[in-house]
Structure 1
Amino acid sequence: MTAFPLVTMEGGPRDRGLQYGRAAGDHIRRGLELYRGEFERRGIFWPQVEAVCTQAAEHIERYDQETNVEIGAIAEGAELPVAAILAINARTEVINARHYKTQPAPAECSGIVALPEVTRDGTVLHGQNWDWLDAAADSTVVLHIRDEKGHEILGLAEAGQVARCGMNNAGLALTANGLHTDREGETQGVCSPVIRRNVLRQKTLGEAIGVIMKSPRNYSHNFMLSHRDGMAIDLETTPEAVFWLKPHEGILVHANHFTSPAALVGTVDEGVRRSPDSLVREMLIEGTLRRRNGPVDRQTIISAFMDAKDAPYGVLQPPMAGKAGVMESTVATIIMEPARGRLWVCRQPYLTQDFTEYAFS
């Protein structure tokens, strides 16, 4: 199975963006075509997309000028309008621009963190099944970013996005997935990929938590954070609040529903209604991890992510006309070991469990 292409970018924000746009231009155009079709299927046409993107650009410029410059340079390098790159980064905002509560729920994701006290090699392992539009596999890349100060980020992203999930050379790792409440889109905030990129610029777990706590948000997301020093935390965020969960017996698992006791009291969890399989995926993963013989290793986590029980909405999802009415699947599985600066990615794992290794070195 063909691996996702590796895109390397370095230097200041403009140089990085130009390199990104030139190297991934074809993939960005594929992603743009995918989303233009998805937007139109939901009754959202390009003039409305541009209006949402104009607002997104204003929020990004106030929040993070460096990423704002990079986004403009990605567009220039790919020879596309800036709105095209903004639409890919702000796809959540565009998709939900009309009647959020009646929009079909998309496929969702499942995440795992295992801490050194339970892993075979005594290092943090952090992974995710990314469930989304199956066609997104053709417009996804692995990014290796090195800025002018020597800070590095390695991770997975849809081409044109500034971040999705990944880790940095300071030992911080991040995955994120969707949550849903009855108050989505009612605030003025920053699109999630830009927040994720800011998180991955941080050197410590405390700084990363601070970014998520302080960043203005439009939509609810779950952020799983880990650090090579043997720490992890899960932050369940809404547009207005942040709740947190700590690992239990060295393991942290999260799907697409709120589990923090405070969140269960303080929010209306639309995610359970929209994606009731989230409860099942979480139980299946926890069951695999409980039944293991010995310490957790990479194969243990792969086994949990490849669980197809309770089909068609198991942990591993083959392509199917899903809840949103389009072909959805587990687009990729990613597993990171931040202490050793390496990660493994499997494209469309329902076809094969062949993982490609990437590393900072």
Structure 2
Amino acid sequence: MTNVQQFPFVSVSGTAHERGLQYGQQAADRVRGSTRLYGQTLINLGYSDQERNSLIGYFAKEIENFAPHYLDEMRGIAKGAGVDFQDIVMINARTEVLAKARAEKVKQADQEPGDGCTGALILPERSANGNLLHGQNWDWRAECADTSVVLRVRNDHGPDFLTFVEAGGLARSGFNSAGVSITANYLESERDFRQLGVPLSLIRRKVLEQDIFSLAIKAVATTPKSCSNNIMLGIAQGFGIDFECTTNESFPIYPGADHLIVHANHWVSPVALSKLQDMGCENSPDSHYRDWRVRKLLNTKEKLERQDLKNAFFDTFGTPYSVCRPPRPGSHDNLSATVAMVIMEPAVGEMEVAPLPALNRVFTRYSLTEEPRLSTPF
């Protein structure tokens, strides 16, 4: 077994600034790692200092208009970790930055690894214990296995939540104490960057702050975005829905007759495909079989457990362009890989996460109420 370091656990509480300060202090090394990874991204893509400051300033203003306490939290993270505030904004807006560079046909942007993902949601009708299960493989830079954390937020003005996230970011995959869960997958269309909107990471964070599911849906479906994205939502009480989102429109996908939702990185909504062009498959052609493989494997059993979801996400068909990607050479001296496998069961307040699952099958179990512990190895 390859010795892969498990993701650190960060637990915070208090005001937005206090939470950010605690976050930055507890995860300082990893936050600095994220800033090194992304702090020079715009410069590497050919942006001048003035252009870089203008773009980051724009996203900071959008964040302030959307939820000003997020900027308070980011300033706290920057102070706690001893990094520049602009670098924290950049971490939270890096999807938009890279997608914008691609939309503008910046040559270096095409050399970046695909920000892929394969996500799945299992409704209680298919779950062995009657609880909704929700999970994802996150495909990105292998280096992010050393710059990501699991963050628990004790929230005085909303539900507590757990999120797996790049250090310095406010949210990625996660769930809250009201039972709302979220994962997201990269999509691309010709509508991207006809407008600029709220960074996707902050929309995910907004979802996790909702104790009413319809308000979580509203945050996903109605918030203006800069680029396309697929966002999968679940609620522990027994419902799930997927939204393929453009900058100004969203297309719902409901569970099928098999009580599953599975999604990778290509558009599947017939309505969406009648109205826009899928621009992302050039960078992730494997998407067309990754979601098919996960659904096929899940449908080999009538009743499903967490382990069955893990088994599907460990699939190696088409390797190294598989559901579970081993590290392979990317660009700019980086590696592309499945950085993490995330398995959530919101009804019991638990999330299991394995770093670099193609190399490591040891999970850490994180909880809304308990301290982390290693899960039984696969």
**TM-score, shorter chain, exceeding 0.5:** yes
* Alpha-carbon distance, 1:322 to partner: 4.1
In 2 relative to 1, CA 121–45 (structure 1 residues): closer, same or farther, beyond 3 Å?
Answer: farther
Distance apart, 1:150 and its partner CA: 6.1
Letter in 2 for 1:33: R
Aligned identity (percent) is 37
The match for 1:152 among 151, 160, 182 is 160
Q: Distance in 1 between matches of 2:244 and 2:325?
A: 24
The secondary structure found in structure 1 opposite 2:39 is helix
Residues in 2 aligned to 1:55 and 1:244: alpha-carbon distance in whole angstroms: 29
> How far is 1:41 from its partner?
4.1
Structure 2: which amino acid aligns with 1:211? Answer: A
How far apart are the structure 2 equivalents of 1:93 and 1:116? 35
TM-score scaled by structure 1?
0.95
Summarize the alignment of residues 207-356 of structure 1 with structure 2, pairs less than 5 Å apart.
207-248=215-256, 249-292=258-301, 294-322=302-330, 326-356=334-364
What per-residue deviation string (whole Å, max 9, x for no partner) do you get for residues 156-197 of structure 1?
Answer: 000000101100000000001110001212212011111111
Of the structure 1 ranges 217-226 and 105-114, higher mean CA displacement relative to structure 2 is found in 105-114
2:82 aligned with 1:79, yes or no? Answer: yes
Question: Is residue 100 of structure 1 aligned with residue 103 of structure 2?
Answer: yes
| Partner SS for 2:315 | coil
Q: Which runs of 5+ in 2 are unaligned?
A: 370-378
Secondary structure in structure 2 of the residue aligned to 1:273: coil
Distance 1:56 1:168, change over 3 A: same
- Which of 52, 66, 72 is matched with 2:69 structurally? 66
Q: Give the distance between the partners of 1:169 and 1:296, measured in 2 at CA.
A: 23
Partner of 1:170 in structure 2?
178
Contact 2:43 2:52 survives alignment (8 Å):
no
Give the corresponding residue for 2:202.
194
Which segments of 5 or more consecutive residues in structure 1 lack a partner in the other structure?
A: none
Structure 2 distance, partners of 1:163, 1:99, is 23
354, 357, 366: which one aligns with 1:358: 366
Preserved CA contact (<8 Å) 2:127 2:305? yes
Asked if the contact 1:165/1:176 (under 8 Å) is kept, the reply is yes
3-state SS of paired residue (1:98): helix
Letter of the 2:300 counterpart: R
Q: Distance in 2 between matches of 1:133 and 1:226?
A: 27
Superposition RMSD in Å? 1.7
Q: CA deviation at 1:96?
A: 3.7
Q: Counterpart in 2 of 1:20?
A: 23
Shift of 1:38: 4.5
User: Are 1:106 and 1:322, in contact at CA under 8 Å, matched by a contact in 2?
Assistant: no
Deviations 1:284-319 (A, max 9, x none): 111111223x31111111111000111121101011
Kept after mapping to 1: 8 A contact 2:159/2:210 = no
Q: Deviation above 6 Å: which 4+ runs of structure 1?
A: none
